[in-house]
Amino acid sequence: MKLLLLSTSYPPVLGGLQTVAQQVAQHMHQHGHAVQVLTMRYPRHLPPYELCDGIPIARWLMLRPNLPDLERGRLAVWLASCLYYGLTLRRLAHLMETFQPQAVNFHFPTHLTHFVLWLRRRYTFRLVVSLHGHDVLGDSARTAYERRQFRQL
Amino acid sequence: MATQVGGLPEVVEDGVTGILVPPNDPQALAEAVLSLLRDPERRRQMGRRGREKVLAQFTPERVADLSEALYWEVLHKP
């Protein structure tokens, strides 16, 4: 099986989400499946690509233009998001076309939901969404757009 | 001890593997702490049951096995 494990965060960042995502990735790799991990590049000093225990980890700055940033006067963030948005979509398309995952396991669906929905419109794969707690409980902190996207998953 | 939020009640079964208290209720939390402090046998019993439950249901191997089974299930769905 080819599995794309898309997680908002991943080790060496510490936490429950990160630990579970890594354990699942390692288990699948040990069972002979092809696993690709894609996560946010945070903190920024982490390498954009690395191989951990035989599992390729890609860390990208996955940003999308967010109107509230502009409303709060965060022009630099908004401009950077515009730049990285197109780049992220191109990278995602490349990843999907080269790796061709049969299943995508999306952990902690928060702001990356937009990209997963974009992938679903363009590519054929089975989606498994893993909820970890605050991704559900934090619903009130989301914008109306994000809440709508969450329900579309 | 845990608050009744999110997935915590899945792990902490009130009165069996621990004590659940309502969120934002420091009084209830304090009472739960005191009740356990006063009853060492109950503490040990809850601790033992909690460990058994975690080993039976929440080990990394079991979570990963269940994840793999779920991937296969969705892949074989028409």
Does A26 sit within 8 Å of B71, measured CB to CB? no
ipTM beyond 0.90? no
pLDDT digits (tens, 9 = 90+) for A97-122: 999 999 999 998 887 999 999 999 99
Q: How confident is the model at residue A14 (pLDDT cuts 50, 70, 90)?
A: very high
Shortest CB distance from B70 goes to which of A20, A23, A128?
A128
pTM score = 0.83
**Mean pLDDT computed over every residue of chain B:** 93
Provide long-range contacts, Cβ within 8 A and 24+ apart, for A138-141: A138/A110
Indicate the range of A39-43, A95-99, A144-148 predicted with least confidence. Answer: A144-148
Backbone phi and psi for residue B18, each to the nearest 5 degrees, phi listed first: 165, -165
Q: Which of A33, A30, A19, A24 is closest to A5 using CA atoms?
A: A24
Q: What mean pLDDT do residues A77-89 have?
A: 92
Q: Nearest C-alpha of chain B: how many angstroms from A74?
A: 33
Q: What is the 3-state secondary structure (H, E, C) of A78-91?
A: HHHHHHHHHHHHHH
Does B67 sit within 8 Å of A133, measured CB to CB? no
Evaluate if residue B41 carries a pLDDT over 90. Answer: yes
Q: What is residue A93's three-state secondary structure?
A: helix
Q: What mean pLDDT do residues B33-56 have?
A: 95
